[in-house]
Amino acid sequence: MDNQNISDLIETYLKQILERNEKIEIRRAEMADQFHCVPSQINYVIKTRFTIPKGYVVESKRGGGGYIRIIKIKLSNDTDILSEMENLVGDRVSQDDAFAIIQQLYENEVLSKREGNLILSVLSKQILQMDLIYDEEQLRARLLQAFLERLGYEEAE
Amino acid sequence: MDNQNISDLIETYLKQILERNEKIEIRRAEMADQFHCVPSQINYVIKTRFTIPKGYVVESKRGGGGYIRIIKIKLSNDTDILSEMENLVGDRVSQDDAFAIIQQLYENEVLSKREGNLILSVLSKQILQMDLIYDEEQLRARLLQAFLERLGYEEAE
DNA sequence: GCTCATTGACTATCTTTGACCTTCATTATA
DNA sequence: TATAATGAAGGTCAAAGATAGTCAATGAGC
């Protein structure tokens, strides 16, 4: 409930702003000051919470007048979304990224909540990390690709 | 009810809170302190008393700001047919049998057509029979079991 | 003797921190 | 004016810290 760590606080703060704005531009040192943490923690937050599968693009510039810019990606029609996600998945995908992708599909109403949960139930580490005989991330990618392809058919009908 | 073992006390304590709340979030070490036991006993209690058939799902996170979250769920009305199917699946299942099982669930209105097709898309020989390194039927069973378990409940409102 | 409960050593995962590196703009200097 | 020095950002990475998970040995109560 409120055993929030600093990274979560920073994440929440930024996402709050991004709900009202297409993008946000920050100065790393300032952020770090504001949240009483070291600058590299800002990088950590960005790297773990503002990834492309989660729907964000990040640009930055060093030197005088440097900045970090976080942009919320807006996806267009369902077909585009699906093929975009297929690209993201590729032939290996982590649990985090897979979950983020399903979340995106849900938010864009490509999937119902129930469908999303069904898919997720099978992509979890717990299920796929069985024996070390096969590559977990590769298998997850194969399954997720199959789901995405199927959703593409649905779309076409 | 008042067997004085610690595990029962912890269970009672948590369930008392869950009667008033949809979910509860604890810190394992804190709980352990509070009940004067070792941290892993909390895991034991959760594993034996907060299972899905008993109406709970558990999520957790490690590291700084870590937590264990217990969520009350609503069990579906179809648990009978679902557990029957789980028995049928066992730990290995052929494509044909898996398809027949999904068909059954569809006919019994446990699944929509779309949900059934989504599930099937991932249980096919084509998808699972990739490398011959692992046992295809075993993997299929694992995936199908995960689906069946997930179909057994919904999040309460 | 069985089953369930308790413990603790070891493991896995996530966060925080800091030392060191790279890039860019501005200013000083030959 | 071209270039070198300086300072001001942001980037990387690995170690240390903070939690939770697993598992097998041991204990307690039928």
The answer to whether the CB atoms of B25 and A7 lie below 8 A apart is no
Q: Which of A54, A72, A90 is the last residue of a domain?
A: A72
Q: What tokens does B97 get? A: 């049998």
A11 lies in the same domain as A68 = yes
For residue A99, is it within any domain? yes
Single out the residue in A72, A102, A121 at which a domain terminates.
Answer: A72
> Does residue B55 form part of some domain?
yes
**Which CATH number belongs to the domain containing residue B65 in this structure?**
3.30.56.130
Mean pLDDT of A121-135: 84
Mean pLDDT of A64-88: 93
Q: Is the model more confident about B7 or about A134?
A: B7
Q: Which nucleotide is nearest to A42 (CA to C1')?
A: D10
Q: Where are the beta strands (DSSP E) in B1-121?
A: 23-26, 56-61, 67-75
Positions of chain B with pLDDT lower than 50, given as ranges: 1
Which residue, among A11, A121, A138, A153, would best test binding to B if mutated, counting the most B CBs under 10 Å from its CB? A121
pLDDT at position A150 is: 97
pLDDT tens across A90-101, in order?
A: 999 999 999 999
Looking at the domain assignment, is residue B48 inside a domain?
yes
Write down which residue in A45, A72, A99 finishes a domain.
Answer: A72
> What's residue A106's pLDDT?
97
- Give me the CATH number covering residue A116: 1.10.1200.150
Q: List all nucleotides in chain D with at least one atom under 7 A from a protein Cβ.
A: 7-14, 17-24
**Residue A4 has what pLDDT?**
84
* One domain, residues A83 and A149: yes
- B132 forms bridges with which residues in the sheet? none
Is residue A59 domain-resident? yes
Angle among Cα B87, B109, A122 to the nearest 5 degrees reads: 55
Q: How far apart are CA B5 and CA A136, in angstroms?
A: 40
Q: Are A77 and A67 in contact (CB under 8 A)?
A: no
The stretch A44-69 carries a mean pLDDT of 97
pLDDT of residue A3 exceeding 70: no
Nearest Cα of chain A lies from the Cα of B50 at a distance, in angstroms, of: 17
Q: Are residues A152 and A82 in the same domain?
A: yes
Average model confidence (pLDDT) across chain A: 94
Residues packed against strand D, CB within 7 Å:
A 3, 26-30, 39-40, 42-44, 60-68; B 26-29, 39-40, 42-44, 46-47, 58, 60-68
Residue B1 lies in a domain: no
Mutate to test the interface with B, among A150, A154, A155 (most CBs of B within 10 A): A150
Q: Are residues A57 and A115 in the same domain?
A: no
pLDDT score for A102: 98
Give the CA-to-C1' distance from B3 to C2 in angstroms.
19
pLDDT of residue A1: 46
pLDDT grade for A77, boundaries at 50, 70 and 90: confident
* Total tally of structural domains belonging to chain A: 2
What confidence score (pLDDT) does residue A135 get? 86
Whether residue A133 and residue B133 make contact (CB cut-off 8 A), yes or no, is: yes
pLDDT at A117 over 60: yes
Return the pLDDT at A79.
Answer: 82
Q: Are residues B133 and B118 in the same domain?
A: yes
Identify the residue with better confidence: B11 or A154.
Answer: B11
B59 in any annotated domain: yes
Domain that holds residue B113: 79-155
Residue that the structure tokens 């699944």 belong to: B111
Confidence at residue B3, expressed as pLDDT on a 0 to 100 scale: 57
